[in-house]
């Protein structure tokens, strides 16, 4: 499994978790994209979800690990919205978009 895919999934999970939990609907959304596109198997996705809970990375650390940031935020927004976009999830998405803006200005 490619490290970029792991980084993308972990960031998406972190955004989804900002409302206090990751729902089955959110995981199903990620499964639909990543497994449906052949990027990971369902077993690999479940391992990545389990692995996410074993670490205590910050949103900033997870964001920094992702190369294709805009694409990943789109997938994360779709997953977080799958069960209704909570204001805390939206806040996490906006923080990531702010990281992109700061980076483009050379502030990060």
What pTM was computed for the model? 0.93
Q: What percent of the chain has pLDDT above 70?
A: 95
User: Does position 108 have pLDDT exceeding 80, yes or no?
Assistant: no
* 107: confidence class by pLDDT, cuts 50, 70, 90: low
* 105: confidence class by pLDDT, cuts 50, 70, 90: confident
User: Does position 75 have pLDDT exceeding 70, yes or no?
Assistant: yes
Q: What percent of the chain has pLDDT above 90?
A: 92
Cβ atoms of 45 and 34 closer than 8 Å: yes
Q: CA–CA separation, 100 vs 105, rounded Å?
A: 9
Q: Which two tokens stand for residue 69?
A: 């940031």
């Amino acid at each position: 499994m490619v490290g970029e895919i792991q980084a993308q999934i972990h960031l998406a999970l972190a955004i989804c978790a900002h409302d206090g939990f990751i729902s089955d609907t959110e995981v199903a959304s990620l499964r639909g994209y990543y497994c449906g596109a052949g990027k990971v198997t369902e077993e690999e996705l479940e391992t990545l979800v389990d692995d996410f809970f074993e670490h205590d990375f910050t949103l900033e650390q997870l964001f920094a690990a992702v190369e294709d940031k805009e694409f990943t935020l789109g997938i994360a927004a779709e997953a977080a919205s799958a069960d209704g976009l909570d204001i805390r999830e939206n806040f996490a998405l906006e923080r990531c978009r702010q990281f992109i803006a700061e980076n483009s200005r050379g502030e990060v």
